[in-house]
Amino acid sequence: MAAVKKSVSVKDVARLAGVSEQTVSRTVHDSPSVRPETKERVRAAMRELGYRPNFAGRSLRRGKFKTVGVAMFNITGTGNLDRMEGFAAAADKHGYAITLTKVDGHPYTLESASSRMSALPVDGMVVIMNRMPADFGTFEPLPGMQTVLVTMLEHPLCSTVDNDQFDCSRQVVEYLLGRGHKTVHFISCPERSLSGMRREEGWRETLRAHGIEPPRLVRGDWTAQSGYAAGQALAEDPTCTAIYASNDAMAYGCIRGLESCGRRVPEDVSVVGVDDSLGDIVPDRRLTTVRFDNKRVGMWAVDKIADADGGASGVEHMLIPGVLVEGDTVRDLR
Amino acid sequence: MAAVKKSVSVKDVARLAGVSEQTVSRTVHDSPSVRPETKERVRAAMRELGYRPNFAGRSLRRGKFKTVGVAMFNITGTGNLDRMEGFAAAADKHGYAITLTKVDGHPYTLESASSRMSALPVDGMVVIMNRMPADFGTFEPLPGMQTVLVTMLEHPLCSTVDNDQFDCSRQVVEYLLGRGHKTVHFISCPERSLSGMRREEGWRETLRAHGIEPPRLVRGDWTAQSGYAAGQALAEDPTCTAIYASNDAMAYGCIRGLESCGRRVPEDVSVVGVDDSLGDIVPDRRLTTVRFDNKRVGMWAVDKIADADGGASGVEHMLIPGVLVEGDTVRDLR
DNA sequence: TTGCACAATGGCAACGTTAACATTTGGGTA
DNA sequence: TACCCAAATGTTAACGTTGCCATTGTGCAA
């Protein structure tokens, strides 16, 4: 039994095929300047030896990794799976791979994400920013490392992309007003959520743009429990005919809360959520909600990096609008 | 303005610090055989030049990437986010990175996942197997590439790990029987789901082990809609007092279906789901369900690869039991 | 016949890092 | 004083790939 060779290189293939290393390399890249018969001979040698190109050697030579790093401060988060779907899809399209890293946030800084990535084989990086990093204003991306932030905030040096939360609220409020409601009540989320705050602004400003003074909001904490409590509280206000909750869990909780007080949905009160996260969980009641295209957000981020890698960069800020999906929890008052 | 150098190498740092390249390397690795003052001088040079070690050069030299590849046939799947949390946590612990790849399955084979990974900078790979690959029995992992499959099936050449779906059903059935129910009805899932089939077997065999002939099962399709229909169908059977649904969406749909026929839960019928995926979505009704530890599954897979990388390998098969979480949808008949 | 264009292939060097070995230096001991 | 040892640092080569340039061969027009 012959000793097992550590790894098969172009050199070994070249020797077996009786050609130069360069011709092997050319065959790997399917260069037109290699005779078909020669190619076949080389390919046969590759098969026989079980050759597979070494990523490190290639990257070292080329100075490129064809890989995009994704930094997350917490992996379990609404929409992350869809975003990854987008990362993977776009990466595939460009022939890139995705490297995932969880970054510990103590404190939560872009700098820590950046330095974590710098030691990894990546050409660019995406940071999923759920909260506000301490150094957002002063952060400078590593030279030569295209950096895209997933956030609604604009950054002077990094491209950014995210769902348009402001527009989401605009759509919901105008939809409800358009169906005859005099005002829209709001169940918000904890104040540390960037996207939630933006939804709140959108709700407030859209109402004002229509000459309506926003009613007192009810603060929730994303859970259906808090929506339930909010629903019970709002049930006592007879003028409340339309409620907009900052996510679906709270919206659904709210419906149950209203019902527990004898208010019917949508006959007495219309309810709208955000996220389209319930799917068909509640089979006899399709919630009216806003569906975001997180996959597209993910794709945009990776596209940006791959494109920059091949030429012009330039900082861009992209907001992707969601789509309002009608269920049967809204009544037309007109 | 001086021209921007492509990238800073140990050579540049060595020149500026007035030491050899080797001393720079030693400083990077914090070797004890470098004088503290020298180290400081080198570190100052690194800072000044913005040096960061080149992954490709290092990997080429070492023959290791310190990276684990994760291959998925579809990214959006129950528990994938938690598994990734586990991958990332274990990778962190071992100083590894995670590279994510979506593999197109036409046909769905382990071979395609393996060859996709072979061109990437990874030392080992994890395949998340949702369905049954065509080549499961005959697949051979790439030499030198530790391969772990996330599946309940055992494989002769690859280590495997997954939630114990059989035991899950055993727990549920014994829990319900233990509370006085004479038998347990089952809402299953589509037959192509490996884990679902295993749940079905567990339900059937546990009942038989208790001398009970399993009643006719109702086939669902994971959706709450199908659970709703199943609930309505089972409502007509007055002997049906306990229902076990193969996931929470169907369980919840089933509850609504039963209620729509005038049967109350848990007064008339007890219902149990699987997955703990509803969380608190339904605020006034905590579903009795089984919670899986997908994070632990992910960690086990990466641990296995990292450990094998540092020494002994050996094929292992690991099943991680879930935990039954009591809600208020089960009535005690004793 | 000569010259030239072009197709096919080969030789060489360099990418950045580090293991293995080699060298220098200073301090202590016989 | 001569010697040795250990600490600190330096030199060399190699990991696998591929861009650049050189070389060889072949057919065709002048």
Least confident range of A115-124, A292-301, B278-287, B320-329:
B278-287
Between CA A56 and C1' C18 the distance (Å) reads 15
Question: Does the pLDDT at position B267 exceed 50?
Answer: yes
What's the mean pLDDT when you consider all of chain A?
A: 91
- Confidence grade of residue B116 (pLDDT, cut at 50, 70, 90): confident
Q: For A165-190, b where at least 16 C-beta lie within 10 A, e where not — what string?
A: bbbbbbbbbbbbbeeebebbbbbbbe
CA B20/CA B10 separation, integer angstroms? 9
Asked if A89 lies within 8 A of B80 by C-beta distance, the reply is no
Mean pLDDT of A210-221: 96
Question: Does the pLDDT at position B2 exceed 70?
Answer: no
For testing contact with chain A, the best of B280, B285, B294, B299 (most A CBs within 10 A)? B280
Mean pLDDT of B268-294: 89
Q: What residue has its CA nearest to the C1' of D18?
A: A61
- Confidence grade of residue B312 (pLDDT, cut at 50, 70, 90): low
B127 versus B314: the higher-pLDDT residue is B127
For testing contact with chain B, the best of A225, A284, A294, A299 (most B CBs within 10 A)? A284
Asked if B257 lies within 8 A of A97 by C-beta distance, the reply is no
- Confidence grade of residue A322 (pLDDT, cut at 50, 70, 90): very high
Residue position matching structure tokens 């099962």: B217
Which residues 123-152 in chain A show a CB within 8 A of chain B? 142-144
Cross-strand bridge partners of residue B160 = B149, B317
CA A265/CA A330 separation, integer angstroms? 8
Asked if B92 lies within 8 A of A102 by C-beta distance, the reply is yes
Asked if B81 lies within 8 A of A75 by C-beta distance, the reply is yes
Instruction: Provide the pairing of β-strand B323-325 with B289-291.
Output: antiparallel
Find the largest Cα–Cα distance for chain A: 88
pLDDT, tens digit (0-9, with 9 covering 90-100), for A75-85 = 888 789 999 99
CA A323/CA A326 separation, integer angstroms? 10
- Contact status of B67 with chain A (Cβ, < 8 Å): yes
The beta-carbon neighbor of B80 closest among A60, A81, A100 is: A81
Bases along strand C below 7 A from a protein CB: 7-20
What's the mean pLDDT when you consider all of chain B?
A: 91
CA A73/CA A168 separation, integer angstroms? 25
Torsion of CA B265, B267, B271, B272, to 10 degrees: 120
* pLDDT at res. B162: 96
Tokens of A89: 């899809």
**B253: nearest CA partner in chain A:** A283
Question: Does the pLDDT at position A3 exceed 50?
Answer: no
Residue B25: how many other CB atoms lie within 10 Å:
18
* pLDDT at res. B1: 31
Question: Does the pLDDT at position A2 exceed 50?
Answer: no
Mean pLDDT of A45-56: 92
- Taking one residue from A and the other from B, the number of pairs with CB-CB distance under 8 angstroms is 163
Bases along strand D below 7 A from a protein CB: 7-20
Asked if A85 lies within 8 A of B63 by C-beta distance, the reply is no
CA B194/CA B130 separation, integer angstroms? 7
Between CA B38 and C1' C27 the distance (Å) reads 20
Least confident range of A298-312, B19-33, B122-136, B164-178:
A298-312
- Confidence grade of residue B6 (pLDDT, cut at 50, 70, 90): low
CA A219/CA A187 separation, integer angstroms? 6
Which among B276, B327, B235, B278 has a CA at the least distance from the CA of A252?
B278
pLDDT, tens digit (0-9, with 9 covering 90-100), for B189-237 = 988 888 899 999 999 999 999 999 999 999 999 999 999 999 999 999 9
Asked if A55 lies within 8 A of B120 by C-beta distance, the reply is yes
Between CA A8 and C1' D26 the distance (Å) reads 35
Q: Which nucleotide is nearest to B25 (CA to C1')?
A: C18
- Confidence grade of residue A1 (pLDDT, cut at 50, 70, 90): very low
> B316 to chain A, minimum CA–CA distance in Å?
24
Residue position matching structure tokens 């527990």: A260
Asked if B53 lies within 8 A of A252 by C-beta distance, the reply is no
Mean pLDDT of A170-186: 97
Mean pLDDT of A95-121: 88
> A115 to chain B, minimum CA–CA distance in Å?
9
* pLDDT at res. B132: 86
- Contact status of B80 with chain A (Cβ, < 8 Å): yes
For residue B205, count CB atoms less than 10 angstroms from its CB and return exposed for 0-12, middle for 13-18, buried for 19 or more.
middle
- Confidence grade of residue A310 (pLDDT, cut at 50, 70, 90): low
* pLDDT at res. B75: 86
Which residues 193-252 in chain B show a CB within 8 A of chain A? 223-225, 227-228, 249, 252
Percent of chain B with pLDDT over 90: 74
* pLDDT at res. B311: 61
Question: Does the pLDDT at position B4 exceed 50?
Answer: no
> B15 to chain A, minimum CA–CA distance in Å?
21
A19 versus B143: the higher-pLDDT residue is A19
Percent of chain B with pLDDT over 70: 97
C-alpha distances out from residue B174 to B69, B204, B242, B243, Å: 39, 12, 12, 13
Least confident range of A188-192, A310-314, B48-52, B233-237:
A310-314
pLDDT, tens digit (0-9, with 9 covering 90-100), for B295-311 = 999 999 999 999 887 66
- Confidence grade of residue A29 (pLDDT, cut at 50, 70, 90): very high
Q: Which residues touch strand C (CB under 7 A)?
A: A 18-23, 26, 32-35, 38, 57, 60-61, 63; B 6-7, 9-11, 21-22, 24-25, 28-29, 53-54, 56-58, 60-62
Mean pLDDT of A279-287: 78
- Confidence grade of residue A4 (pLDDT, cut at 50, 70, 90): very low
Which residues 34-53 in chain A show a CB within 8 A of chain B? 50, 52-53
CA B136/CA B138 separation, integer angstroms? 6
Q: Which nucleotide is nearest to B7 (CA to C1')?
A: C16
The beta-carbon neighbor of B101 closest among A97, A118, A252 is: A97
Residue A220: φ, ψ to 5° = -110, -175
CB B334 within 8 A of CB B180: yes
Least confident range of A4-13, A98-107, B93-102:
A4-13
CA B293/CA A19 separation, integer angstroms? 54
pLDDT, tens digit (0-9, with 9 covering 90-100), for B20-50 = 999 999 999 998 888 888 999 999 999 999 8
- Contact status of A278 with chain B (Cβ, < 8 Å): yes
> A277 to chain B, minimum CA–CA distance in Å?
10
* DSSP secondary structure string for all residues of A74-102: -S--TTHHHHHHHHHHHHHHHT-EEEEEE
Q: Which nucleotide is nearest to B57 (CA to C1')?
A: C16
CA A242/CA A329 separation, integer angstroms? 10
